[in-house]
Structure 1
Amino acid sequence: MIDWPLAELLPHAGNMILIDHVLAFDEEQIHTRVTVRPGGLFNRADGSLPAWVGVELMAQSVAAYAGCQAREQGKPVELGFLLGTRKFECNVEHFPVGAELTIHGLRSLQDDNGMGVFECHLTGPGIQASARLNVYSPPNIADYLVERVPS
């Protein structure tokens, strides 16, 4: 398991960090884990998480991958964008309280302009979910965050 605090790997804060741990990563992939706990921002009344939250768990795992890569290279963690999700499939409607979920993200494409594609899988007890995430981390993020005044 990686000892770096998630708050130093993700451009999220507080209860918006949904994953619990980075288990392992390398140049091409990341493995993360989360235990479903009641009382979070997206929990249903019974404490479970709707299956669609799996997309966010996968996206945060990809963001943690980028954060691990940046940290390993001595660079700052940068903001990135989830552009879209393709082929999200899940065999359940929700993830029950107490379920331990493991997320695996595998980089299948990344170019020098910041575009990337990750094949992601989420598994747990009786749970199988998968999706392809299209992500973008622009080389000069500050240019995207500046509000331009129309001329």
Structure 2
Amino acid sequence: MDDTAPSIAPRPPVEHFVPHRGAMSLLSRLVTIDAEQALAEVDITPTSMFVQGQGVPAWVGIEYMAQTVAAWAGARSRAAGGEPAIGFLLGSRRYQAEVPVFATGQTLRIHARCELIGDSGLGQFACRIHGPAHRLLAEAMVSVFEPPMPPSSATSDSREA
């Protein structure tokens, strides 16, 4: 197991691991993060972003998955002494939703497991969303890209002594 992303206990707030802020921070809390995977929860409330009618359209699940991946990447960055970085959702394969809407009042559990991650910043994650009674509500393979961080000015500064 890789030491760069230890499990969290006690759990810091979501904002400690993702660059998303305000209304665009969709995760309610992180449950666990380790070297291979992350588990987050989303409470669907009447004030949740994207609520329409009886809940949140299931297509928003892809963003819940992407933000869970971002939390995983942010934990790795924090463990290495860095800050969470902005990443990009490149797409998904086989996003399959078993319901049209995530109903108001539900708590969703989003699981993202790293299938591969390259030095280039490209990664692929197997993601699932479960609802009440552990019912599978959606799943997909999610592809992401985190651009390499440019060298900091402190390391690229060439001052003469």
In the superposition, the TM-score normalised over structure 1's length comes to 0.87
1:16 aligns with 2:24: yes
Partner of 2:86: 79
Equivalence for 1:134: 143
For structure 2, the 5+ residue unaligned runs are: 1-8, 152-161
- Work out whether residues 92 and 127 of structure 1, in 8 Å CA contact, stay in contact via their aligned partners in 2: no
- 1 CA distance for matches of 2:136 and 2:143? 23
- Residues of 2 paired with 1:141 and 1:49: CA distance? 37
After superposition, residues 1-151 of structure 1 pair within 5 angstroms as 2-46=10-54, 48-125=55-132, 126-140=135-149
Runs of 4+ in 1 over 6 A off after TM superposition: none
Q: Deviations over 1:31-74 (max 9, x none)?
A: 1111101123301033x000001100000000011111111221
1:2 Cα deviation from its structure 2 partner:
4.9
Q: Is the 8 A contact 2:66 2:142 kept in 1?
A: yes
**Cα offset, 1:127, TM superposition:** 4.5
Distance 1:2 1:36, change over 3 A: farther
Closer, same or farther: CA 104–141 of 1 in aligned 2, 3 Å: farther
Quick one: distance in 2 between partners of 1:45 and 1:89? 21
Q: CA–CA distance in 1 between the matches of 2:81 and 2:20? A: 19
Q: In 2, are the aligned partners of 1:2 and 1:24 still within 8 Å (CA)?
A: no
Does the CA contact (< 8 Å) of 2:13 and 2:30 recur in 1? no
Larger Rg: 2
Looking at structure 2, the residues matched to 141 and 83 of structure 1 have their Cα atoms a distance apart, in angstroms, of: 21
So what's the TM-score if we normalise by structure 2? Answer: 0.82
8 Å CA contact 1:2, 1:23 repeated in 2: no
Identity %: 38
Letter of the 2:72 counterpart: Y
Aligned residues: 141
